[in-house]
Amino acid sequence: MTPLVSRLSRLWAIMRKPRAAVGSGHRKQAASQEGRQKHAKNNSQAKPSACDGMIAECPGAPAGLARQPEEVVLQASVSSYHLFRDVAEVTAFRGSLLSWYDQEKRDLPWRRRAEDEMDLDRRAYAVWVSEVMLQQTQVATVINYYTGWMQEVNQLWAGLGYYSRGRRLQEGARKVVEELGGHMPRTAETLQQLLPGVGRYTAGAIASIAFGQATGVVDGNVARVLCRVRAIGADPSSTLVSQQLWGLAQQLVDPARPGDFNQAAMELGATVCTPQRPLCSQCPVESLCRARQRVEQEQLLASGSLSGSPDVEECAPNTGQCHLCLPPSEPWDQTLGVVNFPRKASRKPPREESSATCVLEQPGALGAQILLVQRPNSGLLAGLWEFPSVTWEPSEQLQRKALLQELQRWAGPLPATHLRHLGEVVHTFSHIKLTYQVYGLALEGQTPVTTVPPGARWLTQEEFHTAAVSTAMKKVFRVYQGQQPGTCMGSKRSQVSSPCSRKKPRMGQQVLDNFFRSHISTDAHSLNSAAQ
């Protein structure tokens, strides 16, 4: 029998092994760990579950992931080399990771709330807010925003990006209050089923951290850790690899401390097992890491110290039949080391789009007012407020005509001769590089517009600072401010170009620069209710 056939036979045996026996073994090993009982006293809210590493066999897996006949073929193309195959190895991984976490975890505000809050619903909400904010945003950026949010400074959300997250969080919270009697769902399955915007990861994080449910989670950090620990080189975003990673996470999660374990795995990926230049010597599970073993093996082969067949376990080499190995088109790169795992799929560059936007200003009783209109509730920057904008037109004449029509739709008849082109702003979102042609129109000597259609608001410049506007609109506003008589406030740092050529900034520029340089406005508690 060939090595590959032998491995696949063992894998098939693992897949068919009765779940009860596997789960029982995991729980017995975990229960024997010293000091764990004190962490398990609050875990009665949800029943722990175990998994043998294959997500399709996990009870409670989301609908659609149950084993289908064709999936047997896919699973058979995965070598057991990439899995955890015995309870001792799983127990060692849990113990090492949690011991490291207890010593090295960062002191973060949402962790303190989760530990100190006795009310389970409040605890779950605190975790929920943090997990939503942390989606595709770095921890250092989130800390101040999280503190502000928990103090009910809702408008601060705008600077985080991915703006629809805030709207979905509000919708979910409203549903908890109005339809669920003020009580959060207690399991990952019901959280995902009942709360809008709560996906598989967020549901698992809330359920494990707030309610002690033994459910694994996979985010970008966890995926990277698992891929390196088990030498998974294939694209982790593919369906097959993603299912395997969720299966590994469910197999590894500690039933006695599921929330701590999941946070420890995320912490390891964020601080030690980083995308580039990982700190392998500081890794608590280095001895279990197949990526590290591969590096050592390759170093021995390169030095000539290892000849013939290496006495190191590896996946069936050069067969191209294992769907978790490095793709044949991207073989091992000696210069990358453990960073060979995982290999990322090539990312498409953001598509380029252009639009024209105009800052329309009129005098008001409390000072100059500017017009903002609200974006649709779906799509890019959903629900945020912006200056009136239109898509880019091929000629200046057509551009001005289209923009003036858009302005008149919100504010009535306007003098076309006062419309001035001020410069441009380039802002890159995750998938779009958007260039704004910035125009300005100041209404002087006219009767102020007092009524506007639904979806539009006149705000003072001070109110603009606390309104729910995007970073791109703040850049646009800087260009407009820079072109007011006697000022010059353009900034290369903000990717802004304008006709202004003054080099020495005035005091007004310094004040505005300081405002946009900070994460949170000093007058953040003065919310703009009109922009909600």
Residues 6+ apart with CB under 8 A from 325: 79, 82, 231, 232, 233, 234, 315
Q: Which amino acid is at 180?
A: L
Q: Which of 177-191, 329-343, 484-498 has the lowest mean pLDDT?
A: 484-498
**Quick one: angle between helices 120-133 and 164-179, nearest 10?**
160
Cβ-contact 197, 171 below 8 angstroms: yes
Q: List beta partners, residue 460.
A: 369
Position 389 scores a pLDDT of: 95
Position 130 scores a pLDDT of: 79
| Residue in 71, 89, 115, 131 annotated catalytic | 131
For residue 94, is pLDDT > 70?
Answer: yes
Cβ-contact 161, 472 below 8 angstroms: no
DSSP 376-400: PSSSTTTT-EE--EEE--SSHHHHH
Q: Which amino acid is at 1?
A: M
Phi, psi of 171, rounded to the nearest 5 degrees: -60, -40
Q: pLDDT band for position 137 (50/70/90)?
A: low
For residue 200, is pLDDT > 70?
Answer: yes
Per-residue pLDDT of 51-87, as tens digits, reads 333 333 333 333 333 333 334 334 447 888 899 989 9
Q: pLDDT band for position 279 (50/70/90)?
A: very high
Q: Which residue has the higher pLDDT, 171 or 480?
A: 480
Average pLDDT over every residue of 418-426: 92
Q: pLDDT band for position 33 (50/70/90)?
A: very low
C-alpha angle with apex 299: 297 to 303, nearest 5 degrees?
120
Position 67 scores a pLDDT of: 38
The 3-state secondary structure of 322-371 reads CCCCCCCCCCCCCCCHHHHCCCCCCCCCCEEEEEEEEEEEECCCCCCEEE
Q: Which of 37-51, 90-104, 185-199, 287-301 has the lowest mean pLDDT?
A: 37-51
Phi, psi of 72, rounded to the nearest 5 degrees: -60, -40
Q: pLDDT band for position 24 (50/70/90)?
A: very low
SS3 459: strand
Average pLDDT over every residue of 18-41: 37
Note if 406 is an active site residue.
Answer: no
**Burial, 403: exposed, middle or buried (Cβ in 10 Å; 0-12, 13-18, 19+)?**
buried
Q: List beta partners, residue 370.
A: 361, 459
For residue 428, the 8-state DSSP code is: E
Position 305 scores a pLDDT of: 66
Q: What is the largest CA-CA distance in the chain?
A: 92
Q: pLDDT band for position 216 (50/70/90)?
A: very high
The 3-state secondary structure of 259-309 reads HHHHHHHHHHHHHCCCCCCCCHHHCCCHHHCHHHHHHHHHHHHHHCCCCCC
**Which of 227, 236, 237, 291 shows the shortest CA–CA distance to 265?**
227
| Distances in whole angstroms, Cα of residue 356 to Cα of each of 365, 390, 446, 491 | 29, 5, 25, 19
Distance (Å, whole) CA 190 – CA 194: 6
Distance (Å, whole) CA 175 – CA 177: 5
For residue 317, is pLDDT > 70?
Answer: no
Q: Which residue has the higher pLDDT, 116 or 173?
A: 173
Position 371 scores a pLDDT of: 94
**Which of 283, 133, 143 shows the shortest CA–CA distance to 291?**
283
Q: Which of 43-52, 240-249, 261-270 has the lowest mean pLDDT?
A: 43-52
Cβ-contact 285, 229 below 8 angstroms: yes
Position 191 scores a pLDDT of: 95
Cβ-contact 175, 194 below 8 angstroms: yes
Average pLDDT, the chain: 74
The pLDDT > 70 percentage for the chain reads 68
Q: pLDDT band for position 148 (50/70/90)?
A: low
Which conformational region is residue 485 in: left (phi greater than 0), alpha (psi within -120 to 50 degrees), or beta?
beta
For residue 524, is pLDDT > 70?
Answer: no
| Distances in whole angstroms, Cα of residue 387 to Cα of each of 52, 377, 410, 436 | 54, 16, 11, 11
Q: Which residue has the higher pLDDT, 353 or 8?
A: 353
Per-residue pLDDT of 458-513, as tens digits, reads 999 888 987 888 889 999 999 998 875 533 333 333 344 444 433 344 444 443 34
For residue 38, is pLDDT > 80?
Answer: no
Position 10 scores a pLDDT of: 41
